[in-house]
Structure 1
Amino acid sequence: MKACIIYSSVTGNTYQLAQEVYDTLSASIEDLDYVHVDEIDYDQLLNYDFIAIGTYTWGSGDLPMEMEPLFDWFEEQSPKHLRTAVFGTGDSFYPNFCGAVDLFRDMLYVKTTLTVTLKVELMPQSHDIKKVPTFCDRLMPEPVYS
């Protein structure tokens, strides 16, 4: 099984959440890539069995600029065979809490086999970290973490 975690982070919150997802998945997946969005090899994305995307939300619910090419790639390729998941951090002060997660979720639901989403308020806390194994279980074809 070949998997990839793609993330972007500006404050470190999404990076921390992505690291928790990576640590959990790496316990049972040998071929797991962990890539910042700026380092993606788009020619390789179709070779994965599943991809987890981690994003923060910009402004009042927008995709971060650096995530737009990835979003567009999924829209154009429509890789229905890929199992996907999306997670992210945001601030509920804004009216569209984790809006970038919602944008990815809605698009991935149509274009891929979306399995799970996870939204976290600001920096991941212990109660958020406890949700990561369930998130990973739902991403995997066969649950192993719960």
Structure 2
Amino acid sequence: MGLMNYNIAIIYTSVTGNTKDLAEHLCSCFEENGQFPILYDISKFPFSEIERFHVVIIATYTWGNGDIPASMQPLYDAFEQQNTKSIITGVAGTGDSFYPSFCGAVDAFRDMLYVKSTLAATLKIELAPQESDIPRCRLFAKSILKRLEKELFQKQLES
């Protein structure tokens, strides 16, 4: 891919370490494609600068009955309140399929991002990333980069 280096943020929250592992796997998948995302723990993400990113990947676990963790609510709100329509987004999460709303936080982010950004991909991982999940992580990263290329090509045609 003849991509320049884009501003890509991977923002995660993690309690047990599973979602952090997922965020790190996704980071590696982007690196395999010549992109070098900035990995942010949610507590360190500069919300006021969200619009400077070409791509924002959200990695979250699900809390309670399919809820977004409280630590991720400010990120959800930032997308709702700022002009983020041109940002390519993806949301990935870890969860336990024992619960009725498996990875419910992924679904909640997906539904909002579909309206407030250019949503390119979602990914749900059972508990923690396994070797068998790596191809899915690679596909997730490739889908996002493909969407980014498509959007940039559209912008070139329009200018």
TM range (shorter): over 0.9
CA distance in 1, matches of 2:19, 2:80: 23
The offset of 1:110, in angstroms, is 0.5
Going by fraction, where is helix more abundant, 1 or 2?
2
The offset of 1:76, in angstroms, is 1.1
The offset of 1:44, in angstroms, is 1.6
The offset of 1:123, in angstroms, is 1.1
**Larger mean Cα displacement after TM superposition, 19-28 or 94-103:** 19-28
Correspondence 1:108 to 2:113: yes
The offset of 1:78, in angstroms, is 4.2
Query: What is the number of equivalent residue pairs in this alignment?
Result: 142
Q: Percent identity?
A: 46
CA distance in 2, matches of 1:56, 1:78: 25
Any unmatched runs of 5+ in structure 1? Answer: none
Correspondence 1:136 to 2:141: yes
Q: Which amino acid aligns with 2:144?
A: L
The offset of 1:129, in angstroms, is 1.6
Tell which structure's C-alpha radius of gyration is larger. Answer: 2
Any unmatched runs of 5+ in structure 2? Answer: 1-5, 151-159
Tell me which residue corresponds to 2:60.
Answer: 55
The offset of 1:39, in angstroms, is 0.5
CA distance in 1, matches of 2:149, 2:22: 22
Tell me which residue corresponds to 2:95.
Answer: 90
CA distance in 1, matches of 2:15, 2:115: 28
The residue correspondences of 1:1-146 to structure 2 (distance < 5 A) are 1-27=6-32, 28-30=34-36, 32-140=37-145, 141-142=148-149
- Runs of 4+ in structure 1 over 6 Å off: none
